[in-house]
Structure 1
Amino acid sequence: MSFAQPDLARTFERIPPQNVDAERVCIGSVLIDREIMGTISEIVRASDFYVHAHETIFSALLALYERNEPLDRITLAEELKRRGALDRVGGPAYLGTLVNSVQTAASAAYYAKLVREKSTLRSLIHAGTEIVQTGFEAEEDVEGAIDRSEQMIFAIGQRQMGGDFSHVGSLMKPALDELEEYYYRRGELSGVTTGFPDIDAVTTGFKPGNFVIIAARPGMGKTSFALNMAMSAARAAGQPVAFFSLEMSNSELVLRLLSSTVRISMHDIRRGNIGDKDWGRIPKVMDELDTLPIFLDDSGGLSVSELRSRCRRLKATRGLGAVFIDYLQLLHPSSMQRQMNRNEEISEICRTLKVTAKDLGVPVIALAQLNRGVETRNEKRPMLADLRDSGSLEQEADFVAFLYREGYYNKEAADPELTEFIIAKHRNGPTGKVNLRFEAEYTLFQPYGDEANYPAP
C-alpha cells in the first residue's frame, strides 16, 4: 500500500506524522453511517489522508455524497472501478476490512480531527522544506522570499483555526460591550483621527480593518494631506504609523514635515532662505518629530505583498496603528506568474490591501490618482467613476474621498486655498463635503472655520 508525501520521509529519513488507524476509522464510519459524512467532510479533506489509498477512497466517497447516492461497500466499489482505482486501493476485500474495523460512528469526528492535525504537521514540515529551498535560491529577491514564507505558514494556521457559523445569540455579549464602549466614550473618536475635527465628526475616526482611499488629480496636495493625517494619528494614538512613499524620498518627506510644522515654505527651505528666528526653532521641532512613532519607507517598485510583509514585521516588533500609502497605482501586484492587464493588477492590489487591513487590525489609507478625464470636462469635481484603472478601488474600499481645489483650475477663485474634502463613499456613515484650507507653501492643510458642510446621517 502506498503512502502520501513520500518526499518528506526521504528528505528527513523519518516517518512523517500520521495516524493510519484514525484514517481507517474515518472511512469505516462513513460506510456504516452515511450521515456522518456531513460532519467529517467539514473537518478533513481527501488530501489530509496520509495513505494514498485512503485519499483515493475518501475522494470517491465525497463524490458519491455530493451526488446524494448511498455510501456503502457496493456503491464505493463501483465508483472506484469507474475511476480505475479499485485494484489500486486493495480491492473489495480492503473495503470490507475498513467496514469491519468500526463498531460505531459515534467517535468519527474525534478521529477526523486527529487526521487533520497530522496533516497540519506534515504541511508544516513541507513548508519548512520549501522555505529552506527558497533560502538557497540566489535569484530570489529577499523581500519576496520572506513574504512567500510568511504566507505559507499563515495559510496553514488559518486552515488549522478553521471557521464556522456563529449563532447571533453568542454575538450579543461582544456587541453589548462595544455599545457600552461607544456610550461611555460619547464625543470621543472610536478610530484613528484624521486631525481635522469636521472630518472626524463624520467618520468618528478610521476603524481597524478599514480600507480607505483618498484620491485626487496631481497638484491637489494628496501627499501633504496624508502626511498631516499621519502626524495627527501618531500624536493622538501614540501607536506606530507606517508611511509608504513610492514617489518621494524619505528626506523630501521629512522636509515637508518640517515645513508644515515650523511654517517655513518649501521654496525658502530649498533656497536656504531661513531666518535666524526660524532656524532657532528647528531643533525643537526636530526633537518633537523624533518622538513621534512615524516610520517612513521610500522603497521604489514595491509589490503589495512586500508592503504587507513589512507591515507585519513592524506590527510584530513595534506595534502598528495605521498604514498610509502614497500612492496605490505605483504598487506592483504580487502575482507576476501570468500576464495581467492594468485593471486586473489594480484589482489584486486592492483586494490584498483590504485583506491586510483586516488581518493586521488597522486602517489602511491609500492615496490614489484620478483619471485624466477630469481635466477635459467643465465640472472638474471628481466622481467615483473617475477612479483610475479599476472599479475595484470603489468596490473594495470602505471609504472613498476626493480632494478638490477650485483655485487650482480657476486663478480668479474667491478663495484659492479652499479645498473640498468630498466624501463619495462611506460604508458606515454619511457622504458629503467638508471644507479645508490648503496652505501650499507650507504643505499644510488646516480646518476651514465653521464652514463644514455635510448631511445628517
Structure 2
Amino acid sequence: MKLSAPIYLLKRKARLLSREENIPLHVALDRIAVKEGFGGWSLLATKESAAAPAGKLFARLTPGDLVLVGARPGHGKTLISLELAVEAMKSGNRSVFFTLEYTKNDVLDRFRTIGAELTHFDELFEFDNSDAISADYIIKSLGLAPRGTLVVVDYLQLLDQKRENPELMTQIRKLKSFARDRELILVFISQIDRSYDPLKKPCPDIGDVRLPNPLDLSLFNKTCFLNKGEIRFQAAS
C-alpha cells in the first residue's frame, strides 16, 4: 500500500494534530495511520521499516566511526539517529542518547514514532540529558561501554555552548580518539546553515553544516544528510 506522503511528512502531520487537538502524540500517529489504511501507527511503521534506510546505513557503520547526521529542522535527522540506535540494539549492542535538547518523554515519543518500544530492548538503551554534556562528560559516562556501543550526541553545535568547555575542535578530536580506541560508534546530529537552498541542490552536504565555531569536518569519516525524504550517505575515501 503506497502512502499518501513520505513518512517524515506524515510524522509532521501527526505532531501538528497532537498540538492542535491537545492529544497524545501516539494517538495522533494512530489517526494518521488509519487514514493511510493501517490499523495503527505501529503497523504502518513496521511496513516502512522493511524499506527504511536505517538498516542499510547501520550495516555500513563500523566500531570507531565518527558519523555526522545533518538536516534542516523537521527532516528526520533525530529520527534516523534513533533508528540507528534501534538497529544497534537489534544486533545486541548498547545505545546511548546524549541530548541537550530533549526530555526522556520526548525521546520515548520519537521511539513510538518509528514504531519501536524500548521495553523490547531490556537494559540496552541509556538516556542522558545532563546540562554538563561535553566531550569529557561523554567520555567519563562511557567508561565501561562495551565495544560496538552506538552513541548519539544531540547536537554537535551545543557541545561548546558553555564558555567553560573546550573549543569544539578540541572536543571532537578527543571524542574521535576515544571512539577509535574504545571501538564505539559516535553519531553527531548537526544543524544545517540557513543559507542552504533546496532549490539549488536536493540535499545539503558538508559545506552546509552550521559552524558558529571552527571545526575540521574531515574529522568525521562518515556523513549522512537528509532533505524531503532523500538521504545522502558518504564515507571518507
Question: Which bracket does the TM-score occupy, shorter chain normalised?
Answer: 0.5 to 0.7
What CA distance in whole angstroms lies between the structure 1 residues aligned with 2:196 and 2:157? 17
What CA distance in whole angstroms lies between the structure 2 residues aligned with 1:293 and 1:195? 22
Shift of the 195–303 alpha-carbon distance from structure 1 to 2, 3 Å rule, reads: farther
Give how far 1:304 is off.
1.5
User: Secondary structure of the residue that 2:67 maps to in structure 1?
Assistant: strand
Residue in structure 1 matching 2:115, options 251, 257, 261: 261
Give how far 1:300 is off.
2.6
User: Secondary structure of the residue that 2:68 maps to in structure 1?
Assistant: strand
Judge conservation of contact 1:213–1:393 (CA < 8 Å) in 2.
no
Give how far 1:200 is off.
5.6
- 1:247 counterpart = 2:79: no
What CA distance in whole angstroms lies between the structure 2 residues aligned with 1:333 and 1:353? 17
Q: Which residue of 1 aligns with 2:209?
A: 387
Q: Which residue of 2 aligns with 1:307?
A: 138
Give how far 1:398 is off.
0.5
Deviation sequence 1:240-276 (CA, Å, 0-9, x none): 11111221011211122234327xxxxxxxxxxxxxx
Q: Which amino acid aligns with 2:61?
A: F
Instruction: State the structure with more CA Rg.
Output: 1
Q: Which residue of 2 aligns with 1:34?
A: none
Q: Which residue of 2 aligns with 1:349?
A: 171
Q: Which residue of 2 aligns with 1:421?
A: 231
Judge conservation of contact 2:95–2:149 (CA < 8 Å) in 1.
yes
Q: Which residue of 2 aligns with 1:326?
A: 154
User: Secondary structure of the residue that 1:351 maps to in structure 2?
Assistant: helix
Shift of the 334–319 alpha-carbon distance from structure 1 to 2, 3 Å rule, reads: farther
Deviation sequence 1:56-102 (CA, Å, 0-9, x none): xxxxxxxxxxxxxxxxxxxxxxxxxxxxxxxxxxxxxxxxxxxxxxx
Could you tell me which runs of 5 or more consecutive residues in structure 2 were left unpaired when the two chains were aligned. 1-48
Residue in structure 2 matching 1:372, options 194, 197, 203: 194
Judge conservation of contact 1:214–1:367 (CA < 8 Å) in 2.
yes
What CA distance in whole angstroms lies between the structure 2 residues aligned with 1:355 and 1:196? 34
- 1:230 counterpart = 2:85: yes
User: Secondary structure of the residue that 2:60 maps to in structure 1?
Assistant: coil
- 1:288 counterpart = 2:120: yes
Give how far 1:224 is off.
1.2
What CA distance in whole angstroms lies between the structure 2 residues aligned with 1:241 and 1:335? 29
Deviation sequence 1:340-395 (CA, Å, 0-9, x none): 8xxxx232232122112112211111111111111586445212211111673521
Q: Which amino acid aligns with 2:90?
A: R
User: Secondary structure of the residue that 1:373 maps to in structure 2?
Assistant: coil
What CA distance in whole angstroms lies between the structure 1 residues aligned with 2:76 and 2:88? 18
Q: Which residue of 1 aligns with 2:9?
A: none
Judge conservation of contact 1:301–1:330 (CA < 8 Å) in 2.
no
Give how far 1:196 is off.
6.7
Judge conservation of contact 1:305–1:334 (CA < 8 Å) in 2.
no
Q: Which amino acid aligns with 2:185?
A: P
User: Secondary structure of the residue that 2:195 maps to in structure 1?
Assistant: helix
Q: Which amino acid aligns with 1:245?
A: T
What CA distance in whole angstroms lies between the structure 2 residues aligned with 1:360 and 1:381? 32
What CA distance in whole angstroms lies between the structure 1 residues aligned with 2:135 and 2:54? 28
What CA distance in whole angstroms lies between the structure 1 residues aligned with 2:76 and 2:62? 24
Q: Which amino acid aligns with 2:215?
A: S
Q: Which has the higher helix share?
A: 1
Judge conservation of contact 1:312–1:360 (CA < 8 Å) in 2.
no
Query: Aligned-residue CA RMSD in angstroms?
Result: 3.1
What CA distance in whole angstroms lies between the structure 2 residues aligned with 1:219 and 1:311? 29
Judge conservation of contact 1:304–1:332 (CA < 8 Å) in 2.
no
Deviation sequence 1:120-140 (CA, Å, 0-9, x none): xxxxxxxxxxxxxxxxxxxxx
Q: Which has the higher strand share?
A: 2
Judge conservation of contact 2:148–2:185 (CA < 8 Å) in 1.
no
User: Secondary structure of the residue that 1:261 maps to in structure 2?
Assistant: coil
What CA distance in whole angstroms lies between the structure 2 residues aligned with 1:240 and 1:336? 30
Q: Percent identity?
A: 23
Judge conservation of contact 2:198–2:204 (CA < 8 Å) in 1.
no
Give how far 1:203 is off.
7.1
What CA distance in whole angstroms lies between the structure 2 residues aligned with 1:199 and 1:229? 6
